[in-house]
């Protein structure tokens, strides 16, 4: 059962946490690992280095959109493939994220969180939202939060 009095605020809390996580991971790749360092990591994983900027920008811009609730439901769903890619990269390292190279449980948890955000919606204080009915019905008309 859903408590209609508080569910919009629960969705808001999830949205803020998820948005901040994406922003912080983009910052980590840009400022700490550096773009060339992240490109090197991608190359070591057998992935194209050209993915570095799209990943960083996707995390940053997607994180901002989720944080402020600008079609956050859609952006959360759109970023799931990025998170599943991270799961695949970290899967050989094992379960716990503090192992060398990082484990897969954290990106898996974030993928599930993004799915939950996509199913729940943007919640309170969102700039632009779309309902699940609009998504499924193909009539994704924005509505005020």
Question: Residue 45 to residues 40, 66, 95, 122, 136: CA-CA distances in angstroms?
Answer: 9, 28, 18, 34, 36
Tokens 């991270």: give the residue: 86
Per-residue pLDDT reduced to its tens digit, 102-113: 899 999 999 999
- Of 21-30, 35-44, 89-98, 121-130, which gets the smallest average pLDDT? 89-98
First to last CA, the chain: 22
Instruction: Look at residue 145 and tell me whether its pLDDT is greater than 70.
Output: no
Residue 19 domain flag: yes
- Mean pLDDT for all residues in the chain: 93
Question: Could you give the number of structural domains in the chain?
Answer: 1
The mean pLDDT value for 83-90 works out to 96
Residue 143 domain flag: no
Per-residue pLDDT reduced to its tens digit, 125-142: 999 998 878 878 866 555
Residue 142 domain flag: no
What is the pTM assigned to this prediction? 0.90
Residue 1 domain flag: no
Q: Domain of 94? A: 7-137
Tokens 């924005």: give the residue: 142
The dihedrals phi and psi of 70, each to the nearest 5 degrees, come to -95, 95
By the 8 A CB rule, do 145 and 42 touch? no
Tokens 């890619």: give the residue: 85
CA 89 to chain centre: 16
Higher pLDDT, 10 or 140: 10
What pLDDT sits at residue 18? Answer: 98
Residue 2 domain flag: no
Residue 145 domain flag: no
What pLDDT sits at residue 102? Answer: 87
Per-residue pLDDT reduced to its tens digit, 32-67: 999 999 999 999 999 999 999 999 999 999 999 999
What pLDDT sits at residue 141? Answer: 55
Residue 15 domain flag: yes
């Amino acid at each position: 059962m859903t408590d209609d009095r508080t569910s919009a605020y629960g969705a808001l809390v999830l949205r803020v946490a998820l948005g901040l996580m994406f922003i912080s991971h983009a910052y980590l790749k840009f400022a700490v690992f550096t773009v060339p360092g992240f490109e090197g990591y991608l190359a070591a994983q057998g992935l194209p280095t050209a993915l570095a900027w799209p990943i960083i920008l996707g995390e940053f811009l997607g994180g901002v959109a989720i944080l402020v609730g600008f079609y956050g439901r859609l952006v959360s769903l759109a970023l799931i493939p990025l998170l599943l890619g991270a799961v695949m990269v970290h899967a050989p390292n094992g379960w716990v994220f503090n192992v060398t190279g990082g484990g897969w449980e954290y990106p898996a948890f974030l993928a599930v969180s993004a799915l939950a955000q996509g199913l729940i919606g943007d919640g309170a204080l969102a700039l632009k939202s779309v309902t699940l009915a609009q998504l499924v019905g193909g009539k994704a008309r924005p509505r005020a939060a």
